[in-house]
Every structure is written in structure tokens, then in C-alpha cells.
Structure 1
Amino acid sequence: MRTWQVERRKRTRHLIELGGLVVKAGIVDLTGDDRATILGALLWMADKLKSDQGKQARALWAAKGKQAFAVERATDAPTISQERPWDRA
């Protein structure tokens, strides 16, 4: 396999995992899959991270995310990478 193919597959996997986080957080359902709303929220997050409150926001959000991952591990819920399409039915 060529180097560019390997890199493209890595990028594709990374993008799929990031999209999975949006789904896992419930954002898709809460917004009715409204892409403009989701993008607006992400842009708001980016602005917050660039602001003088960015350090506090990053710490708060990281703690909340780590807690969610810990709960997921404790309940043996499948992670995005472990989930198979036929398990979602």
C-alpha cells in the first residue's frame, strides 16, 4: 500500500472517530441532526477556547469527558471502535 493511502486511511479513521464523539454526546439527537446548529456549537467552543477563559473551559470539558469515558468503561458499554453495525439495532 502506498504511503498516501495509509495516510488517507488514518485521516478517515480519525474523522470517523470524531464524528462518533458527536453522536456519543447526544448532539445529533438533541439538534435533530441540524448541521448548522452543530457547526455553530463547535464554532462557539472554538471561540471559547481562544478566549481568556479557554484554559478553564478546556479543564472543565476534559474532566467531564474523562468522567463519561470512565462511566462507559464501568458499565461495559461498547466504545465507538468496538461497536459493530449489527449491535446498533
Structure 2
Amino acid sequence: MRDWAVARRERTRHLIELGGLVIKAGLVDLTDDDRSTLYGALLTVADRLRGEERANALALWKRKGKRAFEAEQDGG
């Protein structure tokens, strides 16, 4: 397989996984699948990560995400 095809497949898989996280977090249902709302929410997160609270936000969100993944693996 050509390098560009491998890179394209890797990128596609990455994008699908990120979309899966949006669904897993319940954002699609909570926003009635409104793409503008989802994009606005993600822009708000990005703004926070550009600010002074970056380190605190990353630490908090990482802990929360790890706990959610662990709870899912434990069955609930």
C-alpha cells in the first residue's frame, strides 16, 4: 500500500475515534445533533486551553476522562 494511502487510513481512523468520543460523552444527544452548538462548545474548550487556566483544565479533564474510561472497563 502506498504511503499516502496508509497516512489517509490512519487519519480517517483518528477522526472516527475523536467522533466516537463526542458521542460517548453524550454531546450529540445533549445538543440534538446540532453541529453549530457542538462546534461552539469545542471552540469554548479551545479558548480555555489558550488561557491561563490551561494546566488546571487539562489536569481536571484528564482525571475525569481516565475515571470514565476505568468505570466503563469495570462495567459501568
1:62 maps to which residue? 62
2:27 maps to which residue? 27
Deviations 1:14-53 (A, max 9, x none): 0000000000000000000000000000000000001001
1:32 is paired with a residue whose SS is coil
- Percent of matched pairs sharing the same residue: 61
Q: TM-score normalized by structure 1?
A: 0.84
> What is the distance in 1 between the residues matched to 2:62 and 2:49?
12
Of structures 1 and 2, the one with the larger relative CO (CA 8 A, separation 6+) is: 1
1:41 maps to which residue? 41
Which structure has greater helix proportion?
2
Structure 1 counterpart of 2:35, which letter? R
1:82 maps to which residue? none
Q: What is the RMSD computed on CA atoms of the aligned residues?
A: 0.8
1:52 maps to which residue? 52
> What is the distance in 2 between the residues matched to 1:40 and 1:2?
37
Unmatched tracts of structure 1, length 5 or more: 78-89
Unmatched tracts of structure 2, length 5 or more: none
> What is the distance in 2 between the residues matched to 1:47 and 1:63?
20
> What is the distance in 1 between the residues matched to 2:27 and 2:59?
20
